[in-house]
A and B are shown apart, each in its own frame.
Chain A
Amino acid sequence: MTIVDPSGISAGGAGAETMGQDIADLGAIRPLRADVWRRFKRNRMAVASMVFLAVLAVLAIFAPLIAPYGITDRVPLFREGPSLHHLFGTDGIGRDVFSRVIYGARVSLTIGVLAASLSLLIGLVLGATAGFFGGLIDTVIARVTDIVLAVPYIVLAIAIASVLGGSERAVILIIGLTTWTSLTRIVRASFLSLKQLEYVEAATALGFSRPRIMFRHILPNALQPVIVYGTISIAGVILTEAALSFLGVGVRDPTPAWGLMIAQGKGDLANAPHLLLFPSIALVLTVLAFVFIGDGLRDALDPKQK
């Protein structure tokens, strides 16, 4: 149970198996890299999203050079709307919203990528181990996954937050440590199917060691859904950060995370909408960008399409 999961690829019984069957097809024919890129380019939304993310990354990296103010610099103008000096207006204690949104790109992208990576890493390791070795190890991992899934997400999030405090690092850990369950199932399913493929049998017959088979033969093929899911899961992470901030267990002031700015500005819809509007737009566009890229990757990597 996660708070948000815009990927649509979540844990489930037969669902993962179905995906596994699709993945098994993959084992036979893998599209060439050049083909993948060509197919990807045809998807206009995906390409536009890549451009957007590239711009965002530039903003994030060069934020100190681009943003006109620092994130804690204050001017004696409180809750002013957009103006020449302050493109997105000022907030309750006089900070420039435009600068904070730009720095926010840094925060949100960092949290997004790092938390998704942590989640991915855990999911890969556990899923691969479960799928490849099977048997008792598989059962144990499956049970542990069930238990983590059973505990309501909020409880884990608040509990970890109260131990670690409210920093970026804490949020990354919270999200990373609690959202690996879906990926584990996907990876496991694909390992299960791929294990049976002929060339794996051949490799085993040839005497290659098991880890070698796992890493060099199965893993690359299993990566396709992982890449797709991983990309889309960044979107989920960014939304989860917003949700955690709303509940009061996300990052803290003055860190300009978009989610936190939205949560703080939610009551101002009527009288100071710029406080809510600009971070929201930034967040929605970024989330969409990741989703479209993920979709584009899925279509591009799908062997059944021409």
Chain B
Amino acid sequence: MREPRTRSRLVGIAAGLFALSLIAAACSSDDSGNKSSATTEKAATGGKTGGELVDLGTFLGDPPEFLDPGLNSTLNSYQVINELYDGLTDIDASDPANPKIVPLVAKSYEANADATVWTFKIRDGEQFSNGEPVLPSSFSRAWERASNKDFAGDYSYLFNFIKGGKEKLAGTATTLAGVKADDANMTLTVTLAKPYSNFDAVAGFQLFFPMPKAVDSLKDQKEWDKGLMIGNGPYKLAQPRTDTDIVLVRNDKWGGDVMGHKKAILDKVTFKVSKDTDTAYNAFEAGEGDSANIPPGRVKEADQNYGTTLDVNILGSYHFDINQKDPSVGGAKNLKLRQAIDMAINRSEINTAVFNGSRTVSTGVTPPGIPGFKKGLCDYCKYDPQGAKAAVDEWKAAGNSQSGPIKIQFNQGSGHENVVAIMVDNLKAVGIQAVADPKPAETYFSSLAKGSCVLCRAGWFADYPTYDNFMYDLFHKDAIGGNNYSQFDDPKFNSLVDEAKQTVDKAKQGDLFNQAEKILLNDDVGVIPLLWYRGAYVYNEKKFTNFQQTNFGLVLWDQIRRK
């Protein structure tokens, strides 16, 4: 839990340029990269404060589009934004099996009985990097800003959760009706449009980060992103961002995090933009940076020579949706075929060949680390060619046959070709004809949304750590035409998910979601899960220690220390 900030000044230790590498005893890097209690400041394994780190692995290919939390929709920009701002809540994953949502800038919060009204008490003494106090109005200001029709970004639809949000986004209202900021009592009251028991997780999302008064005097809100944004996180911008560099320096006014850390350890973190993963890795090996992303194919070598975050489970799923309305694979009559497909795929081979073992074989869609996760929900996800052949025979015996090979769709140019090649081989081995059907990347998702999926590559990274972010956003009937490329619409599933979203008891909620997922995976086979993501950062362990990645994919830059 978070302790109140002390007023002591921090003595800045100017480390200046790169530390000389000391050959220290091999630092046993903490396993799993989650915030285990062994990594709180008290028990940290020696090392110095101060210093600088140059990262080459966060921005690959493109400079960040937006650093403004009100506009951003990419995970890599989130890495930076997360260091610049703190939100109402945060995730405490010190017990990786039981991640919890805990208050951060909020001192405490509670929901009413039916989870429609949420009351957040804001901590006293929190400041922005310019000394301005963080108040409930800092949040309402930010939320009004981000829901403004002319400014709103890709995630603005999240304001639909809040009462009056839809109207504000449409332009028919001028403020968010459900948001009340009471600065005198340091209370922020949020009324939701519908009951939703996981709103505390959503409230910690970047879209809801606070903003200082300075944004009110901007002529054009998008200028904020280009200048020296003021935030309340462990770091602040040292200079306006450029196309090649984003430079962060320590923010001395930071309030600390949920683990008890009070200040960022490194003085400066520089994020460099690389245009190509292989170039970035080359530069890392050449010593021009301290951390990078591991290109597929170099996983083993990276693991042997450097420190990596390969053992961190990332909240992302790599799966193939299977269209329930398609005559060749969907519907009750093709259930055995879908089970066969599930059993025929050698997930382990895909993991080894294409990803060098850097991912985890799935046993369901929702990944480990989501509250409520249960291992082994999928009955058909184990590699079982005999079982698959038997299922195919049963399917054929019922009078079915293939009128043509099953088309496996995927977006070109992102490395899925090899996965599909292996899938085609696997299916052929059990008697199912399939063929790869690459689609142009630009129109891929929009054409899937219109219903063109047969067996199509999909994937999902959690926006916020909730079970419904996977079950509802991907497979509920409300998501048909959106991200539900399987056109999955099972009434029992829908009602279980609806009920779970309103269930306040977390244990009961998890149970309901498990039941729903079992229906999805086993009774209907609405999706073919393949792999779960793992961390892919590599870092120079001779120079740095305590390089951790949360299972959100966020690196805890403020806790890295030099050796």
Nearest-Cβ distance from residue B451 to partner chain A, whole angstroms: 21
Nearest-Cβ distance from residue A271 to partner chain B, whole angstroms: 5
Given A253-B417, A253-B418, A267-B278, the answer on whether A94 and B353 have CB atoms closer than 8 Å is yes
Is A272's CB within 8 Å of the partner chain B?
A: yes
Residue-wise interface mask of B (276-315) relative to A, using a CB-CB cutoff of 8 A (1 in contact, 0 not): 0110011001000000000111100100000000000000
Given A74-B422, A93-B418, the answer on whether A267 and B277 have CB atoms closer than 8 Å is yes
* Chain B residues whose C-beta falls within 8 Å of the C-beta of A72 in the assembled complex: 421
Is B425's CB within 8 Å of the partner chain A?
A: yes
Minimum CB distance partner of A166 in chain B: B412
* A92 and B297 contacting across the interface, CB-CB below 8 Å: yes
Is B327's CB within 8 Å of the partner chain A?
A: no
A-B pairs under 8 A by CB, number: 50
Is B495's CB within 8 Å of the partner chain A?
A: no
Q: In the complex, A283 Cα to B413 Cα: how many Å?
A: 22
* B297 and A252 contacting across the interface, CB-CB below 8 Å: no
Is A35's CB within 8 Å of the partner chain B?
A: no
Nearest-Cβ distance from residue A218 to partner chain B, whole angstroms: 45
Nearest-Cβ distance from residue A193 to partner chain B, whole angstroms: 46
* B295 and A267 contacting across the interface, CB-CB below 8 Å: yes
* Chain B residues whose C-beta falls within 8 Å of the C-beta of A266 in the assembled complex: 278
Minimum CB distance partner of B422 in chain A: A93
* Chain B residues whose C-beta falls within 8 Å of the C-beta of A92 in the assembled complex: 296-297, 353-354, 418
| Of B281, B285, B297, B412, most A-chain CB atoms within 10 Å | B297
Nearest-Cβ distance from residue A207 to partner chain B, whole angstroms: 57
Q: In the complex, A76 Cα to B298 Cα: how many Å?
A: 18
Is A274's CB within 8 Å of the partner chain B?
A: no
Q: In the complex, A61 Cα to B301 Cα: how many Å?
A: 39
Q: In the complex, A74 Cα to B420 Cα: how many Å?
A: 13
Nearest-Cβ distance from residue A61 to partner chain B, whole angstroms: 26
* A93 and B412 contacting across the interface, CB-CB below 8 Å: no
8 Å CB interface, B417-439 against A: 417-418, 421-422, 425, 438
* Chain B residues whose C-beta falls within 8 Å of the C-beta of A79 in the assembled complex: 297
* A78 and B353 contacting across the interface, CB-CB below 8 Å: yes
| Of B278, B296, B301, most A-chain CB atoms within 10 Å | B278
Nearest-Cβ distance from residue A170 to partner chain B, whole angstroms: 11
Q: Which of these, B285, B301, B417, B425, contacts A252 with CB under 8 Å?
A: B417
Is B352's CB within 8 Å of the partner chain A?
A: yes
Q: In the complex, A272 Cα to B301 Cα: how many Å?
A: 11
Nearest-Cβ distance from residue A138 to partner chain B, whole angstroms: 39
Q: What are 10 pairs between A and B in contact, CB < 8 Å?
A: A74-B422, A162-B442, A165-B440, A166-B438, A252-B412, A253-B417, A266-B278, A268-B297, A268-B298, A272-B297
- What 10 new A-B contacts, CB under 8 Å, besides A79-B297, A253-B417, A271-B298? A72-B421, A74-B421, A74-B422, A76-B349, A78-B352, A92-B353, A93-B353, A93-B421, A162-B442, A267-B297
